[in-house]
With several copies, the nearest count.
Chain A
């Protein structure tokens, strides 16, 4: 335990923001990691270094700094391939984030593969990013959207998936590997093996899983995988879409423009090789390069160490929250089945009010619908409070959270 504390102290030193105070003297306690994580100095410096030393556009120029930039940019692809166990780095497309990745699939794959009366299956605990693009698509195509519901433990009722598959017409099953509200870890292997029997494509929203647990795409065998750098120590504005080459080859271009073409003539055009066909225009070069450093940082710590640390913190927090009257927790109490996320409500205090009160003590938690209104409807609450951990969080921070919750109880005369 001692060693663990020491090494966390050591890690915390890499995150400049953790030293900052809000309201003059309250040291920041950042518990909104499911929304976006903080960045280690190494990542900040990588971006800095790019702009100071080799900023230039990529792919298209022959001079030295352009070569350096191109090499660094392409190197991120290889890093990610290794990190997620993807065989071919050229199957990785850089996008702005998970949202753009899923929309890219909806446009470039969906518009050619979803027809009238086809069915897309999603789940009740999806983020809006994995619902709205499909709503738009099924509306355009007169297709159908179906939801896998959750049970009282916040787990998916996979029997419903069986029904949908058996009924037929299912073309895509799309789900998050970890719920951003409940923390539930989805049994991806089970879902995908079911889908494979019916030859149904699968998309994994890895926004929450990739940062917090080992993801092995080659093992999982899905058809699409999306995640965001900013949720895994990396900069804002970058994410990836992965799809195997044979799937990608049958996708039509998304954005048209520079770099995604092979030859442009006045009236016809040929497309560039993969993955460039899907990377039109100047990409977010600096931040793609910063992403690479973020992955190095995670690798240095070890993704399993991160997972264990979060499980530990979640168990600790649950035991503390258990002692406070009137706290209702949503999702699975078993931290082995859940990421480092806890959603809860505290008596009749609205989550927004609670977040504002905690903020006074420097504690940043998320309140609201967490871009998961379908889930809120299911839970029959307008909003929840959510705390979510990362490698730099400590038990001491949870203790301070508890003190602050007690203050809120006094203010609201609970």
Chain B
């Protein structure tokens, strides 16, 4: 993939005008993580609508390259309003294909997927805390989520 293909209009626009950029005071879910190898650093905030088990509100804050910020913007757009059960199914292709980044090289892929990793981990720990009595199917599901997050890149 040639790089000028990467840096198309949409990426540059998103990076200069990110969507859902900001913070939530007292969020239901919060997590920070960074990419140790390049320094991208993202805070993710979410509120949960308990009635319908969905993400009612999502914001992010932080510093990152155009790819990181654009992908995080897209991720928040996809996530917002979704049922948690559906949110945990979001996968890397969903993000990458939206921005035409399927062929990103392995180092840059970390920039693209940092926020998805944070999303998965934060929901994992939210669910682990929340559900006191976890039945076995639920448990397997949770472990899968954690595995997903761990092995994302």
Contacts and interface: CB of A to CB of B under 8 A. Distances in A.
A352 B63 contact: no
B37 interface: yes
A276 to B, nearest CB: 7
Interface in B57-72: 63-68
A71 B109 CA distance: 13
Interface stretch (B2-10, B45-53, B78-86, B92-100): B2-10
B22 interface: no
Contacts of A350: 15, 64-66, 68
Interface residues of A, number: 37
B65 A353 contact: yes
B39 A66 contact: no
B139 interface: no
B75 to A, nearest CB: 18
Which of B16, B36, B38, B41 has the most chain A CB atoms inside 10 A of its CB?
B36
B106 A369 contact: no
B3 A352 contact: no
B107 interface: yes
29 contacts: A59-B37, A60-B38, A62-B38, A62-B105, A62-B107, A62-B108, A64-B105, A66-B107, A67-B105, A70-B106, A71-B106, A259-B36, A263-B36, A273-B36, A348-B16, A350-B68, A352-B65, A352-B111, A356-B3, A356-B6, A360-B4, A368-B37, A368-B38, A368-B39, A369-B39, A382-B41, A383-B39, A411-B7, A412-B12
Given A61-B107, A352-B65, A356-B108, 14 more contacts: A59-B107, A60-B38, A62-B108, A67-B105, A67-B106, A67-B107, A70-B107, A276-B36, A352-B38, A352-B67, A369-B39, A382-B39, A382-B40, A383-B38
* 10 A-B pairs with least C-beta separation: A350-B65, A352-B65, A360-B3, A382-B63, A262-B36, A369-B39, A368-B38, A272-B36, A353-B66, A67-B105
Interface of B: 2-4, 6-7, 12, 15-16, 34, 36-41, 63-68, 105-108, 111
Interface of A: 23, 59-62, 64, 66-67, 70-71, 259, 261-263, 272-273, 276, 348-353, 356-357, 359-360, 367-369, 373, 376, 382-383, 411-413
